[in-house]
């Protein structure tokens, strides 16, 4: 199984200042230091034997801080020779589809075809949509039209498009990409049942990013494969993202509690989960309003920090679910990966080695230990499509 490293630059200790709206002084740690620390760990991917480097798309808050994942991956395309590249995810509604198609094609050329996971999604954060001037009410339509246009653009033919939002005159994608199968490399991330069905019926394969119990992800794979069967498509396997801290000392796992808690706090505040008015009545985002009850408690305690240990129960935070956390010794982490693959049949794994307030030296040591003690075994591990991920009528 392929194992990649995934990154987003976080300045998590700056959230107290941002929440207090105290912008009279700059962050105690400059953002550029966080970005450079992230890039330094990513530089380890190829020499340590990982299979790929993945980047997200976020801007405007201390969370994620990767405003253009394709730009970041272009940087690594020039610094590496072997590893594949992936996005988790490029937020399609923030892009003009023709610009996105050209940037994907150009990265395909300069990486010699190594951009093999084109993860895209439709975005959530009100602040990010407002900053780029895109109405969230249009996100699903923009996303669907972007998929239409990418499919046409990557066909190798001249094309035109007439949608509700985007109008594209007859044109060709120039430069043309090197690879001829770019549309089949698109993976979709969705957080609602409606989006999951729409994308599955279009033939999109899921990309899970740690925001739901692994067992729920497994049930979603079965739903996806049921929809695919109804559309005459073969079953598929998702790709999965999990968050990792590896230490030879079992007692070190306790150190991760603050990092996990702050990572979940970051998710809650960045996406606005603590205020249902961010989602109530917004077309396509109605399901998010239900998250307010769990999110508010996290926001209320964000300044003082966790009171009784952030990792003690998955219900304490609405962010990264405990079943997607690879925290522990090399043996414990390998067993967790094996159990997770059996639960949701993912064919490829991306681990995020730095999150929340985890220091970069801790993340570096953890990554090196994982590469030495866990990575070879996981790369040799089979990643089958399990029967539980097949359509229900296939299990009869």
In terms of residue numbers, what domain contains 336?
Answer: 2-292+316-391
Residue 160 covered by a domain: yes
Q: What is the pLDDT of residue 209?
A: 85
The secondary structure of residue 67, as a DSSP letter, is S
In a domain, 304, yes or no: no
Residue 40 covered by a domain: yes
Identify the three-state secondary structure at position 294.
helix
- Is 90 exceeded by the pLDDT of residue 396? no
**284 close to 136: Cβ distance less than 8 angstroms:** yes
Residue 119 in contact with residue 168, Cβ under 8 Å?
A: no
| Mean pLDDT computed over 130-135 | 97
Q: Are strands 325-328 and 239-246 parallel, antiparallel or unpaired?
A: parallel
Q: How far is CA 109 from CA 101, 103, 105, 148, 176, in A?
A: 12, 10, 6, 22, 9
Tokens of 356: 């929340």
Q: What is the pLDDT of residues 191-238, one digit of tens each?
A: 788 889 999 999 999 999 877 789 999 999 999 999 999 999 999 999
Buried b (16+ CB within 10 A) or exposed e, 230-249: eeeeebbbbbbbbbbbbbee
Asked if pLDDT for residue 147 goes beyond 70, the answer is: yes
What is the average per-residue pLDDT within 332-360? 97
Q: How many residues does the chain have?
A: 396
Q: What is the pLDDT of residue 292?
A: 53
Question: Residue 285: inside a domain, yes or no?
Answer: yes
Look at residue 258 and tell me whether its pLDDT is greater than 50: yes
Show the tokens assigned to 305.
Answer: 């920090």
311 lies in a domain?
A: no
Residue 276 forms part of a structural domain: yes
Nearest to 221 by CA among 250, 253, 245, 199: 199
Q: What is the mean pLDDT of the chain?
A: 91
Q: Count of domains in the chain?
A: 1
pLDDT above 90 for 274? no
Residue 310 lies in a domain: no
Question: Does residue 308 belong to any structural domain of this protein?
Answer: no
What whole-number distance in Å separates Cα of residue 382 and Cα of residue 377?
A: 10
Contacts of 285 (CB under 8 A, 6+ apart): 124, 136, 279
Closest CA to 351 of 339, 360, 363: 363
CA count, 13 A, side-chain hemisphere, 37: 23
Q: What CATH number should be reported for the domain holding residue 380?
A: 3.20.20.30
On the question of pLDDT at 318 being above 90, the answer is no
Q: How confident is the model at residue 307 (pLDDT cuts 50, 70, 90)?
A: very low
């Amino acid at each position: 199984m392929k194992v990649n490293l995934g990154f987003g630059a976080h300045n998590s200790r700056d959230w107290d200042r941002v929440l207090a709206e105290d912008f009279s002084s700059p962050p105690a740690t400059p953002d550029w230091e966080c970005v450079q620390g992230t890039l330094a760990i990513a530089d380890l991917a190829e020499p340590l034997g990982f299979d790929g480097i993945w980047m997200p798309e976020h801007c405007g808050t201390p969370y994620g801080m990767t405003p253009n994942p394709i730009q970041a991956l272009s940087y690594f395309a020039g610094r590496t020779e072997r590893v594949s590249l992936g996005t988790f995810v490029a937020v399609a509604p923030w892009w003009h589809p023709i610009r996105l198609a050209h940037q994907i094609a150009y990265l395909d050329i300069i990486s010699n075809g190594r951009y093999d996971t084109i993860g895209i999604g439709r975005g959530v954060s009100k602040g990010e949509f407002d900053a780029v001037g895109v109405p969230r009410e249009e996100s699903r339509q923009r996303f669907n039209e972007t998929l239409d246009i990418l499919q046409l653009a990557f066909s190798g033919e001249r094309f035109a498009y007439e949608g509700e939002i985007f109008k594209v005159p007859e044109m060709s994608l120039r430069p043309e990409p090197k690879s001829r199968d770019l549309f089949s490399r698109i993976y979709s991330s969705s957080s609602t049942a409606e989006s999951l069905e729409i994308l599955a019926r279009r033939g999109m394969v899921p990309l899970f990013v740690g925001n739901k119990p692994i067992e729920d992800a497994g049930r979603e794979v079965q739903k996806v494969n049921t929809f695919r069967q109804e559309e005459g498509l073969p079953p598929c396997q998702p790709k999965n993202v999990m968050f990792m801290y590896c230490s030879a000392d079992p007692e070190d796992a306790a150190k991760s509690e603050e990092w996990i808690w702050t990572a979940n706090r970051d998710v809650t505040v960045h996406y606005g989960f603590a205020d249902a008015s961010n989602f109530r009545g917004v077309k396509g985002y109605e399901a998010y309003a239900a998250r307010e009850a769990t999110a508010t408690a996290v926001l209320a305690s964000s300044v003082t920090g966790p009171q009784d240990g952030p990792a003690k129960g998955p219900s304490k935070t609405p962010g990264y679910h405990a079943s997607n956390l690879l925290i522990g010794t090399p043996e414990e982490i390998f067993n967790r990966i094996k159990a997770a693959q059996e639960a949701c049949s993912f064919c490829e794994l991306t681990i995020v080695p730095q999150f929340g307030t985890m220091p970069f030296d801790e993340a570096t040591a953890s990554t090196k230990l994982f590469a030495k003690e866990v990575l070879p075994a996981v790369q040799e591990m089979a990643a089958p499509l399990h029967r539980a991920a097949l359509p229900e009528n296939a299990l009869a």
